Structure 1
Amino acid sequence: MDDRTPGYPRPNPSLSFWLQGTRNSPLLGHRTTPQLPAKSKVTIIGSGLSGVATAYFLLTGPNPPESVVILEAREASDGATGRNGGHCRPDCYRDYTHYKADFGTEQALKIIQNEMDTLELMAEIITKENIDCDFWRGFTYDVPMDGDAAAYLAASYAEFVADGGPVDGIVTPILDPAEARKTTRCPRATAAYRFPAASLWPYKLTAHLLNLCIEKHGLNLQTNTPVRKVVPNTLYEGGWSVETDRGTLQTDNVVYATNAFTATLLPEFQGHIWPFRGQCAAVIPPKAFSGAGMLTHTYGLAYGDYLIQRPKDGVIIFGGARRSMPVERLLGNTDDNGTYPEMTEALREALPQYFEGWEEEAMGEGLVHAWSGIMGYTSEGIPYVGELHDKPGAFICAGHHGHGMARIMTCARGLASVIQGGTWESTGLPECFRPTRERLSAPAQAVVHNIGKQDIVGQTK
């Protein structure tokens, strides 16, 4: 593993399926003011879902700050948010055993509940703000494809139920392999678990919230403005000086929504938040998986693969293929400029093997586009959210472990409340998310091991 800091987001990144469809966006190159503001009440570093949602909840909540600035190193939301699988897929039981072992029963139950709360909040905000982002809400399958994976899920489910975790009307186990194969259309299935999930166009969600905050609430967005350093303010007591290539901004509060790149600005997170390179693809399905034959659920498949089928056009967004590459080439990797041919080929070959009746692809069908993205993995598999313990007025919402779509909305809402002086207890977030001194002083060697545990059936981003 490489202990160097992650540096900065790369210039000229690959273009995801989501970003291909938004080349007409007025947010490209957007700077609300030609010059960098001299000061701000709250400055947010990063314009992915973490930064945008935090700004939204600050500006639409009670007593909004008089000024909020978002600084983005590249274009708006073209980091992990603009490159993910479009999957909002709560963990309703799967990693309970892992969370319980690390954080205890109470916190483990809160982590699982928080993910369902996030799905509800996501749906609430999309409806409230009338956001056109292809939001679909339904169900997903976990589909293990060997005995070990089935045993892992069965054990976690059983322990979750034994500890009082809610499953009635939420999680439906399908433990008979024949029934699982028929229900999921996966001939290698050894079991299946059905539970709530959603899919959406992530960039359109953040773009809508950005435009709303800029036009109605005075948000100042500055794209292509990488932050090089944040130091205590020397001009007046308290606050922070945020140094960029375009000048320095003085701010009372700074929010690190920097995910994989956090340790560049906050060295204490080195070894606690790791960049991890992932890969996704857009697939045009054959006729058997189109029209009336479209998949009715999203999926977590085998070891670390995941997919949604978009209801508007039938395109399948398929990600994973991590077993085709040594983990050492993905962990610590910030290069999202291109793709690995081995991963692209693994994605190309996987769906005909996973699904029954995936006939030979005609010209124009099959994998049509692949791209990469950089996630922020943590040693414990959970994010860092809250005020930094030794930096008054400095806050973080980062390290979502490839699972941000199922976590960020509630984390951002809670963080906005804390920034405005609310108590942690009022946020409803798990206490283990806080960036405490104890978390940052703990050894971080387990990150590779945790990747293995959490990828046993599908990433959920």
Structure 2
Amino acid sequence: MGNILSAVRNAYKSLFSAIALLLALSDEFSQALERASQSPGLPNPKPTASYWLQDPPFPELVGARSPELPQTADVAIIGSGIAGAAIARSLLHERRRRNTNKSEKVIVLEARELSSGATARNGGHIKCAAYDAFAQFSKTFPKDRAAALTRLQMRHLESLIGLCESEGIEAAEARKVETVDLFLDPKSFHKAVEDGAEMKKWLLEVEIAVWNSEKALEKFGVNGSVAGALSYQTGAIWAYRFTSISVPDSGPEGFPYAVQTARGTLHVRHVVHATNAFASRLVPGLRSKIVGARAHMSAQQPGRQFPSTGGMRSWSVVYGRGFDYVSQRPSAAGDPQGDLMIGGGFMRSLKQGVDQVGLYDDGVSLEPMTISQITGVFPAVFHPKWGSDTELKQVWSGIIGLSGDSLPFVGRLDTKLTFRNVSGQVHKSDNKSMCGEWIAAGFVGEGMVWAWLCGVALGIIIAGTEEEDVTEAHGKPGGRLADWFPKELLVSSSRVGSADIANLANEM
């Protein structure tokens, strides 16, 4: 009887502990929702030092700025990361192609150094895990649309590598690599294999190799902690003062928006929001729709015993609903091992990631449990081949932009979201498309397989050439926009209305 009572008491203790944990997480999630409803504020002027920014390939561009702020411009792009660069390049390309508006200026505004936000703080991974992406998209969309969204992510590999090759941007180290997803539990591994088989019905072009535990140990040099692995092709790359906006009663004719910066006021026809997690600061209607979350990265030097790939392999470590991601720089002369960029551990924080949602400070404070995860995962998985002659070179944080439906927002913003209506300031002879506010943001922590082509698409939309059938170019797909850009990513009132960040409760 005593054993029975003891077992019952232990069961109740476990139950009450589980209930207490759920209540604590519920309270933390409520606090996260409250943070999400507030303005993000400005980026921290003194963020943690990112590995990527220690030795910039073009130091003269880091603090680049015009001698003086012009009085007017056609387009002001707020944000100089990969999305902002893609928008500017795409828009200018379309104007040159049509030989129109050559004299109109496109201005880029940045809060800190050039491209110093999420683009300079990520893991350098051009990686679409197609089997997982397709499975996630299929929960919300029909299979054909899930395939279209997955294909857009996959296009980034050829687009970014082709762009760097055509422009001679060797400093970006853009390259195709073999990627390996290492699963630490059999359940996650078997689900991934099943997801891959279902995906193959709709994406015939995707090739994924399956490795059991024994084969993974032999092929990739891991230890017995790995239950299985999947490998496929992906890529790696070195991706590398703020404002307010108003609609004044008076100003230069045809330039209805007044963008106030630390250097003065700029009057523009178009305002483009490419600030990702910080978008809702200037677009109040997107609060609780796009929200920031603090994520962490590290740079680590493996030991000489670590399986050398010359920087031609990347990895993910998958465990239940969590994962870590790893890329490796090419080996330098005289050094057999390039540095590893290891990030992730989001679900390992004190409150399982919930306490990182709604945070916008990438300053010196770091989440210790997350850092423990990303600095310890490869030594654990590759022991003893991790080696003893290793070095933790750097850890830093960055702010990712989550969205309420886990997809980026791209397109024209309704005045109900911006709270700025320019109808009274636009001349009657002007076409509606001559002025407006636009967005490409909310890349859900996967900017390397969303941001570039979302930016390219937005540049085409602003230029008004989305119905034109164009020739494929480096960094830009051919055909009409609708041929390659999924309509599910476009901003609409119905989509914004349903994309509340509270939807993430089931995922977290």
Mapped contact 1:239–1:393 kept (Cα < 8 A)? no
Tell me if 1:49 matches 2:79: no
Residue type of the partner of 2:377? A
Tell me if 1:431 matches 2:487: yes
Map residues 341-356 of structure 1 onto 2, 5 A cutoff: 341-356=368-383
Identity of aligned residues (%): 28
Residue type of the partner of 1:53? A
Call closer, same or farther: CA 1:74–1:277 in 2, change over 3 Å: same
Residue type of the partner of 2:210? I
- Out of 158, 163, 176, the residue aligned to residue 212 of structure 2 is 176
The alpha carbon displacement at 1:296 in A equals 4.5
C-alpha distance in 2 between matches for 1:434 and 1:21: 37
Q: Tell me which moved more, 351-360 or 10-19.
A: 351-360
Mapped contact 2:255–2:267 kept (Cα < 8 A)? no
C-alpha distance in 2 between matches for 1:359 and 1:191: 19
Q: In structure 2, what is the equivalent of residue 37 of structure 1?
A: 70
The alpha carbon displacement at 1:186 in A equals 2.7
Q: In structure 2, what is the equivalent of residue 216 of structure 1?
A: none
Q: In structure 1, what is the equivalent of residue 286 of structure 2?
A: 269
C-alpha distance in 2 between matches for 1:347 and 1:259: 24
C-alpha distance in 2 between matches for 1:284 and 1:271: 39
Mapped contact 1:262–1:398 kept (Cα < 8 A)? yes
Tell me if 1:77 matches 2:115: yes
The alpha carbon displacement at 1:397 in A equals 0.8
Q: In structure 2, what is the equivalent of residue 220 of structure 1?
A: none
Q: In structure 2, what is the equivalent of residue 193 of structure 1?
A: 230
Mapped contact 1:227–1:242 kept (Cα < 8 A)? yes
Residue type of the partner of 1:433? L
Call closer, same or farther: CA 1:238–1:156 in 2, change over 3 Å: farther
Q: Gaps (5+ residues) in structure 1?
A: 204-224, 453-461
Residue type of the partner of 1:226? F
What SS does the corresponding residue of 2:235 show, helix, strand or coil? strand
Tell me if 1:406 matches 2:449: yes
Mapped contact 2:213–2:227 kept (Cα < 8 A)? yes
Mapped contact 1:348–1:366 kept (Cα < 8 A)? no
The alpha carbon displacement at 1:24 in A equals 7.0
Mapped contact 1:139–1:298 kept (Cα < 8 A)? yes
The alpha carbon displacement at 1:158 in A equals 2.6
Residue type of the partner of 1:194? S
Call closer, same or farther: CA 1:78–1:229 in 2, change over 3 Å: same
Mapped contact 2:221–2:385 kept (Cα < 8 A)? no
Q: Deviations over 1:260-305 (max 9, x none)?
A: 0011111111111110111111101101127x46564201112320
- Out of 447, 452, 458, the residue aligned to residue 504 of structure 2 is 447
Tell me if 1:245 matches 2:262: yes
What SS does the corresponding residue of 1:289 show, helix, strand or coil? coil
Q: In structure 1, what is the equivalent of residue 327 of structure 2?
A: 308
The alpha carbon displacement at 1:27 in A equals 2.1
Q: In structure 2, what is the equivalent of residue 141 of structure 1?
A: 180
Tell me if 1:289 matches 2:306: yes
Q: In structure 1, what is the equivalent of residue 345 of structure 2?
A: 321
The alpha carbon displacement at 1:232 in A equals 6.9
Call closer, same or farther: CA 1:264–1:233 in 2, change over 3 Å: farther
The alpha carbon displacement at 1:396 in A equals 0.7
Call closer, same or farther: CA 1:380–1:91 in 2, change over 3 Å: farther
The alpha carbon displacement at 1:64 in A equals 6.3
The alpha carbon displacement at 1:115 in A equals 1.5
What SS does the corresponding residue of 1:402 show, helix, strand or coil? coil
Mapped contact 2:72–2:255 kept (Cα < 8 A)? no
Residue type of the partner of 1:350? V
Call closer, same or farther: CA 1:294–1:288 in 2, change over 3 Å: farther
Residue type of the partner of 1:388? L
Mapped contact 1:282–1:315 kept (Cα < 8 A)? yes
What SS does the corresponding residue of 2:60 show, helix, strand or coil? coil
C-alpha distance in 2 between matches for 1:106 and 1:434: 17
What SS does the corresponding residue of 1:400 show, helix, strand or coil? coil
Map residues 53-132 of structure 1 onto 2, 5 A cutoff: 53-61=86-94, 62=97, 63=99, 65=101, 66-132=104-170
Q: Deviations over 1:116-140 (max 9, x none)?
A: 2121111121111110211221221
C-alpha distance in 2 between matches for 1:154 and 1:8: 43
Count of equivalent residues:
423
The alpha carbon displacement at 1:150 in A equals 1.5
Q: In structure 2, what is the equivalent of residue 331 of structure 1?
A: 357
Q: Tell me which moved more, 322-331 or 248-257.
A: 322-331
Please provide the CA RMSD for this pair.
Answer: 2.2
Q: Tell me which moved more, 80-89 or 385-394.
A: 385-394
C-alpha distance in 1 between matches for 2:42 and 2:239: 22
The alpha carbon displacement at 1:49 in A equals 0.6
Residue type of the partner of 2:168? N
C-alpha distance in 2 between matches for 1:399 and 1:311: 30
Q: Deviations over 1:24-81 (max 9, x none)?
A: 7112332122x22111111100001110121122223324652110000111111000
Q: Gaps (5+ residues) in structure 2?
A: 1-31, 333-337, 416-420, 422-434, 468-479
What SS does the corresponding residue of 2:107 show, helix, strand or coil? strand
C-alpha distance in 2 between matches for 1:160 and 1:293: 29
Mapped contact 2:310–2:331 kept (Cα < 8 A)? no
Mapped contact 1:107–1:431 kept (Cα < 8 A)? no
Tell me if 1:226 matches 2:242: yes
What SS does the corresponding residue of 2:69 show, helix, strand or coil? coil
What SS does the corresponding residue of 2:440 show, helix, strand or coil? strand
Q: In structure 2, what is the equivalent of residue 370 of structure 1?
A: 395
What SS does the corresponding residue of 1:287 show, helix, strand or coil? coil
Structure number, greater radius of gyration: 2
Call closer, same or farther: CA 1:413–1:24 in 2, change over 3 Å: closer
C-alpha distance in 2 between matches for 1:230 and 1:361: 58
Call closer, same or farther: CA 1:439–1:312 in 2, change over 3 Å: same
C-alpha distance in 2 between matches for 1:81 and 1:295: 20
Residue type of the partner of 1:400? F
Q: Tell me which moved more, 190-199 or 368-377.
A: 190-199
